[in-house]
Amino acid sequence: MNMPNVHKCPGDGCDQGIPYNRLMCRADWYRVPKPLRDAVWETWDSGRGAASAAHTAAILAAIDACNRARAAEGVSAASSTAARGPGHV
């Protein structure tokens, strides 16, 4: 029953299915500091930067910041999901 255009939130221990045009679920997105969120949008460039190294780096930085925030809040269920790709079209 998987929707083809949905992926799992990259937050550690977070199982939310989210649309491919979003990087992570709303709760996790707002754990990312605004400068990193802005960098994701700027490098995304309405999709033109989707596969760029800058966008990939911005995504990985955002996911890392999110998971560090989750860990600090004690909501991280695991710490072994960091090897995933960006999962972003």
DSSP symbol at 7: E
Near Zn ion by CB under 5 A: residue from 11, 43, 62, 70: 11
User: Segment contacting Zn ion (CB under 5 A): 9-17, 30-38, 45-53, 79-87?
Assistant: 9-17
Amino acid at 38: D
Taking the complex as a whole, the smallest distance from the CB of residue 33 to Zn ion amounts, in Å, to 16
Query: CB under 8 Å to 23, separation ≥6 — which residues?
Result: 10, 29, 40, 59, 62, 63, 86, 88
The mark string for 16-45 relative to Zn ion (x by CB under 5 A, - otherwise) is x--------x--x-----------------
CB atoms closer than 10 angstroms to residue 56: 16
What's the CA angle centered on 52, arms 49 and 55, to 5 degrees?
75
* Nearer to Zn ion (CB atom), residue 11 or residue 86: 11
Q: Is 14 in the site for Zn ion (CB under 5 A)?
A: yes
- Binding interface with Zn ion (CB under 5 A): 9, 11, 14, 16, 25, 28
